[in-house]
Structure 1
Amino acid sequence: MTAKDTNFTLGEGSTSWLICTLENSPVFSLYWLGLVTVVILYCPVVLLFVWLSCCSICIKICKITGILPVDPDSEQWRKLLQIHAFLISMLGKVLHGYEVYGMENLPKGPSILVYFHGGIPMDSFYFLQEVYRMTGRAYLSVMDHIFFLIPGVQTYITLLGGVHPSREECVDLLKEGHAVNIAPGGLREQNYSDKTYKLIWGKRHGFAQIAIKAKVPIIPYFTMNIQEAYRVWGNTWITRWLYERTRLLVFPVLGPLPVKLRTYIGEPIPYDPNITPEELFEKAKAAVEALRDKHQKIPGSIPRALWERFEMHRKEE
């Protein structure tokens, strides 16, 4: 075969030759292999942000076109949020047979809710939407700053009560009568915790200081099998090193797996003017751990969590 024949096969000009050379390069193959691997590993995270973005776009279109009022506190928006809560509730039941126990422990006034942060905290999302569906009470949810750095998702999470306030702003929100949902472990607990369900709260006493200043109770809750629904991968020295220096890295997540999820709400920890933030912190952490120890079999098991979808559950538990 002549050089001319080769050029005819590959296409005219040097561009075709360059493309052919790259496609046969080991580096090019490794690039595509790496890209496909990242997409597969981060598929649940990518889908989550695609969902948030699509919902935000729909909300903006409704506001711009006048289909719905600009004011999110209007009656039309409340009806839409009720429909949204119902649909999310159905999604939780279909995917996980989701249930909530202990609704009677939620006070009507302001409070701080604290919980274990799973691989992806969809349990908190299902829980808050279930509360809204049943009571009409909207909770504010403190979220990591990473959500507010990503364009196109803020509209949806803000409409559903997502906030990133300072401590002083959080105290003001509670004094105004709001209830606030906080995961003290945050993204670090999401990345580092595993099937042992160890709480990684460090010395994050901020929520306890806020509760004392605002004079509100703390409500602990825990979701059984949340680590089996979304299992975190990549907890290695290099990923830990990257996260500790950027505070932006989200480790790869496997899920959602259709395991059984149940959220258990503990008894309120009442306001005590004589308690220190450190003591209240330990008390709240112990309350979440007590719910975990009572309702979660450790270490977590994906096959067992899948089987629990078919087990009968006694209400008195």
Structure 2
Amino acid sequence: MESTLIWLWNNLIHYFILLTQHFNLDVIYLAWLWGLFKPLCLVLLALWLLPATILLFLYGSSLFLLIYKHWNRLKAAYSEDLWFGAINTLAVFWELQATIWHGYEVEGLEHIPVKGPVLIIFYHAAIPIDFYYLYTKIWLYRNRRVRVVVDKFVFKIPGLATLLEALEIQPATAAMCKLMLDEGHVLAVSGVREALFSDNNYQLIWKDRKGFAKLAIDAKVPIIPMFTKNCREAFRSVSCGRRLLRYIYEKTRLPLVPIYGMFPVKMKTYLGKPIIHDPSQTPEELAKKVRESIEQMIDTYQRRPGSIIKAFFDRFF
């Protein structure tokens, strides 16, 4: 057996030498090139592989829920609610991940009422991982499930159907949002443009956005502004070709902006005091008030322009 392995090894070396001679390759030169570009290759690899970890968490969560759904013994063991035990389990794992990787904290969690409808308006990071973390905090410490509405393209992402079902995520329509608030839920909304095209200066991209304000006035619910420190340092969207990508998005609603990151930076979510709707206010006035509140939170808590290195030091030192 040993002699056979030696024979195979010698033949592989022989054929490799013949191959390099045939294609006129210089092995030493190739090794020199690899040594020269190896650091750059490793950096680029890290930038694109790290975001894949959050996808692993999402798909892992979806897979867990799929198994849970079809495992009758687990359903009976937890409760009569099909998803309660599963979400509780996932919330613990996500909170643990948030604590270890980002030192995640929340300030103002007491502003979330233990019952009754409320509307959360938040600054949308490139990937809203801060909102995922907040979801788990509200579930575990306020005993409430946050209802979420998303763009239709999310429902076309393969592999997430069970996760969307378990979390009761719905398409972002005015009628659906009104229904959720009328039923007394906590509802969170934000904007995709902001996620794709904002940057480490943390500017709000709202255009003439006022639909959420009209919704709050019609449903007679308070608005809680939300911002997470260093959320743009955890994930970044690529700035190259942004004008073209924004043009494509406005025409097709396809979010084609590449994302990189999952850097272990310090993250802390701030929940502002509830903004109570005033019947005399117009939607434009209420939207302006909420915008000013979030911008004030950004001015108070966020270093601008944001720095990944400084946010990293915030986490560990």
In 2, Cα distance between equivalents of 1:73 and 1:285: 41
Could you tell me which residue of structure 1 aligns to residue 83 of structure 2? 77
In 2, Cα distance between equivalents of 1:58 and 1:229: 25
Output one character per residue of 1:148-193: Cα deviation in whole Å (capped at 9) or x when no partner: 112321221331242224212211211111110011xx22111111
Q: Give the conservation status (yes or no) of the 8 Å contact 1:229–1:257.
A: yes
Letter in 2 for 1:144: D
Could you tell me which residue of structure 2 aligns to residue 211 of structure 1? 216
In 1, Cα distance between equivalents of 2:238 and 2:178: 36
In 2, Cα distance between equivalents of 1:293 and 1:112: 22
Could you tell me which residue of structure 2 aligns to residue 12 of structure 1? none
Q: Structure 1 unaligned segments of length 5 or more: list them.
A: 1-8, 10-19, 21-37, 312-317
1:142 aligns to 2:163 (yes or no): no
In 1, Cα distance between equivalents of 2:308 and 2:52: 23
Letter in 2 for 1:155: T
Letter in 2 for 1:154: A
1:224 aligns to 2:229 (yes or no): yes
Q: Structure 2 unaligned segments of length 5 or more: list them.
A: 1-14, 16-22, 24-43
Could you tell me which residue of structure 2 aligns to residue 283 of structure 1? 289
Query: Shift of residue 142 of structure 1?
Result: 1.9
3-state SS of 1:222 partner: strand
Q: Give the conservation status (yes or no) of the 8 Å contact 2:152–2:172.
A: no
The root-mean-square deviation of aligned C-alpha atoms, in Å, is 2.7
Q: Give the conservation status (yes or no) of the 8 Å contact 1:42–1:252.
A: no
In 1, Cα distance between equivalents of 2:240 and 2:294: 23
3-state SS of 2:70 partner: helix
1:256 aligns to 2:262 (yes or no): yes
In 2, Cα distance between equivalents of 1:240 and 1:49: 24
Instruction: Give the TM-score, by structure 2 length.
Output: 0.79
Q: Give the conservation status (yes or no) of the 8 Å contact 1:56–1:153.
A: yes
3-state SS of 1:140 partner: strand
In 2, Cα distance between equivalents of 1:143 and 1:134: 24
In 1, Cα distance between equivalents of 2:310 and 2:237: 18
Could you tell me which residue of structure 1 aligns to residue 4 of structure 2? none
Could you tell me which residue of structure 2 aligns to residue 124 of structure 1? 131
1:192 aligns to 2:197 (yes or no): yes
- 235-244 vs 186-195, which moves further: 235-244
In 1, Cα distance between equivalents of 2:254 and 2:45: 18
Q: Give the conservation status (yes or no) of the 8 Å contact 1:219–1:268.
A: yes
Structure 1 pair 74/282, CA: closer, same or farther in 2 (3 Å)?
Answer: farther
Q: Give the conservation status (yes or no) of the 8 Å contact 1:49–1:153.
A: no
Q: Give the conservation status (yes or no) of the 8 Å contact 1:52–1:157.
A: no
Letter in 1 for 2:220: K
Structure 1 pair 136/143, CA: closer, same or farther in 2 (3 Å)?
Answer: same
For these two proteins, the number of residue pairs brought into alignment is 276
In 2, Cα distance between equivalents of 1:73 and 1:53: 24
In 2, Cα distance between equivalents of 1:308 and 1:40: 21
Letter in 1 for 2:195: Q
Please list, as runs of the form range in 1=range in 2, the aligned pairs for 1:4-83 lying within 5 A after superposition.
Answer: 43=49, 47-69=53-75, 74-75=80-81, 77-83=83-89
In 1, Cα distance between equivalents of 2:155 and 2:290: 28
Q: Give the conservation status (yes or no) of the 8 Å contact 2:47–2:261.
A: no
3-state SS of 1:189 partner: helix
1:181 aligns to 2:188 (yes or no): yes
Query: Shift of residue 46 of structure 1?
Result: 5.1
In 1, Cα distance between equivalents of 2:296 and 2:91: 29
Query: Shift of residue 246 of structure 1?
Result: 1.9
